[in-house]
Structure 1
Amino acid sequence: MDGLQYTFSDTIKQWVGSKSTWHYIRLPAAMSDEIHTLSQYHQTRRRGWGAVKVEVSVGNQQWQTSIFPAFEGKRYALFLKAEVRKQLGVAVGSEITVTLKILL
């Protein structure tokens, strides 16, 4: 796989809607800006809602998913499924370090 790689840390946050609850971390603003520019210029594997396909590594876990421009300031968000949180032993308020690779 070719692509840019980023490493960052953030605290897991929770958004509660009327029908669902989402757990996520936000990418730093400057990183989000760079990824947005990259996705526009190179037309990376974008999906609906401006999503960008990525490979994620946290601890010994690795998976492919998409990041989404979400919430305030259009910073990208990485949503964490229950299965991933369980395998990592993390919850809302836990700080995690993520290595994220943009899939071109």
Structure 2
Amino acid sequence: MDGLAYTFTDVIKRWQGSKSTWYYVSLPATISDEVHTLRQYHQTRRRGWGAVRVKVTAKNTAQAAVEEHHPQWETSIFPAFDDKRFALFLKADIRKQLQVVVGSEITVMLNILF
């Protein structure tokens, strides 16, 4: 199964651990629930920590009217934190390309790659 697509908007959050800091957006609960179910039935090769491979395109919603290059990359989403919603972690390079910080809103187009 390849190419199942979702689009959502969320605010960038920061998680501070004892040795690391992570920046991420959370998938909506309904999408997370669907991905959890699909993962059980369609993922042929299990990935660590419940990860699901994805292809991502993101845009800064504050600059949505400006037609610019929107970063695309392949990564994994993870069921994270207490509510087990999937999280998309954003590396520094991606945040820089999007010109965003914690509290910025981004729109994410996500393709599941089972």
Task: Identify the residue that residue 73 of structure 1 maps to in structure 2.
Answer: 83
Task: Identify the residue that residue 57 of structure 1 maps to in structure 2.
Answer: 57
Which stretch of the first structure deviates more once superposed, 45-54 or 29-38?
A: 45-54
C-alpha separation between the residues in 2 aligned to 1:98 and 1:67? 12
C-alpha separation between the residues in 2 aligned to 1:58 and 1:84? 9
Number of equivalences = 104
Runs of 4 or more above 6 Å deviation = none
Post-superposition shift, 1:3?
Answer: 2.1
Task: Identify the residue that residue 48 of structure 2 maps to in structure 1.
Answer: 48
TM-score, scaled relative to structure 1: 0.94
Which ranges in structure 1 are unaligned for 5 or more consecutive residues? Answer: none
Which ranges in structure 2 are unaligned for 5 or more consecutive residues? Answer: 60-69
Identity of aligned residues (%): 71
Task: Identify the residue that residue 3 of structure 1 maps to in structure 2.
Answer: 3
Which stretch of the first structure deviates more once superposed, 45-54 or 64-73?
A: 45-54
Task: Identify the residue that residue 15 of structure 1 maps to in structure 2.
Answer: 15
Q: 1:70 to 1:44 in 2, by over 3 A?
A: farther
Task: Identify the residue that residue 29 of structure 2 maps to in structure 1.
Answer: 29
C-alpha separation between the residues in 1 aligned to 2:77 and 2:4? 14
